[in-house]
Amino acid sequence: MAGTTNTGVVNYISNPVSKFPKNSITIDIFGNVFYRDYDFGAGDDTGVYWNDKVAYSKETMLFLTISIGKALLGKFSFGNKLRSSQSLDFKMQLPILKNGKIDFEFIDSFIAELEAQRIAELEAHLTVTGLKDYILTEEEHSALDSYEDWEWNTFNLEDLFGKSTRGKRLKSADRIPGELPFVTAGEADEGISDFIGNDVTIFSENTTTIDMFGSAKYRNYKYGGDDHVAVVHTETLPKLASIFVTSAIHKSSHSGQFDYSKNFYAKDADTLNIQLPSRGGQPDYECMATFISAVQKIVIKDVVLFADRKIGMAKEIVNK
């Protein structure tokens, strides 16, 4: 359906609906464009484009997706929705040969080169960060197996981490371009609205922000924040334990009680209670860190195997 979250995938269904083929492009009512390499159903707020007569490669379809998206960028919104018939009136830029025909050979090679470059960067990132290791340790196996038997207790945020800090307003017009991430309320780009060079309070990495809607996010970098953001000072915790705590905070603060008419502020963070695994009546941060490490390995496993498979295929092509 329409939207960018999960590339517009809102559900998995078994209803008897029209099924569209993989290697298709979808365009929703807001002009969001996505490539689909799987069979899918779609709502009436989404147009689907494919070609039964011409077998376009995946690389070509990806290139077309980006080109269409660029042509439609910023043209549609809630007040001006795109309908499928309208998309026929838009033009996109594509590389051509001297005879005026589309240069599909260039498109395919260009996308293949980009993919190879990104995969190499991913491989390097996984190696440097240690994420390439996806084999669970005995402790991690145990943490996953014993999850339902954990002892849990309720803890107050201020008691655990001291008073939360509220950011300060900095109007867009007053922002000086720079390198410091500036966090505001919202989900897009995890709330990072700008990169600034202003002299503002810099919050530490390994902390948690809660925005005006109660949405909590873990920050592993230094940043500034506006007055719609509360900072919970989890910096003394191990990184993986902080991530667990952030999830616990989000579950408590983002349950529908805060919105435009009732904002979440730092004072609300100080009174917030969260559920955490405990031992001897105290938060068991070691258990939290082990559990997050296990989850991280499970999540990253498919990424590592995908990267290894792609790199192996590239090496075979080079050797041939």
Question: What does the pLDDT read at residue 314?
Answer: 62
* Predicted local confidence at residue 195, as pLDDT: 95
Q: Residue 37: what residue type?
A: D
Per-residue pLDDT, 317: 55
| CA separation for the pair 129, 293 (Å, rounded) | 13
The residue ranges of every structural domain in the chain are 5-94, 151-283
Whole-number Å distance between alpha carbons of 301 and 303: 5
DSSP string, 45-83: TEEEE--SSS---HHHHHHHHHHHHHHHTTS-BTTB---
Q: Residue 122's pLDDT is what?
A: 83
pTM: 0.69
**pLDDT given at position 219:** 96
Look up the CATH number of domain 151-283: 3.90.220.20
| 255-311 tens-digit pLDDT | 888 888 888 988 999 999 999 999 999 999 999 999 999 999 998 888 888 877 877
Q: How far is CA 140 from CA 197, 241, 247, in A?
A: 42, 14, 19
Residue 316 is predicted with a pLDDT of 62
Residue-level pLDDT at 16: 86
| pLDDT value of position 290 | 95
Over its C-alpha atoms, the chain yields an Rg (Å, rounded) of 24
For the record, the structure tokens of 293 come out as 């490490």
The answer to whether 205 and 221 have CB atoms below 8 angstroms apart is yes
Residues of the chain with pLDDT under 70: 84-88, 313-320
73: CB partners within 8 A, 6+ apart: 31
- With 0-12 / 13-18 / 19 or more C-beta atoms within 10 angstroms meaning exposed / middle / buried, residue 5 is exposed
Contact between residue 254 and residue 216 where contact means Cβ atoms under 8 Å apart = yes
Q: Where are the alpha helices (DSSP H) in the chain?
A: 58-72, 104-129, 138-145, 157-161, 239-253, 266-270, 285-319
On whether the CB atoms of residues 66 and 114 are closer than 8 A, the answer is no
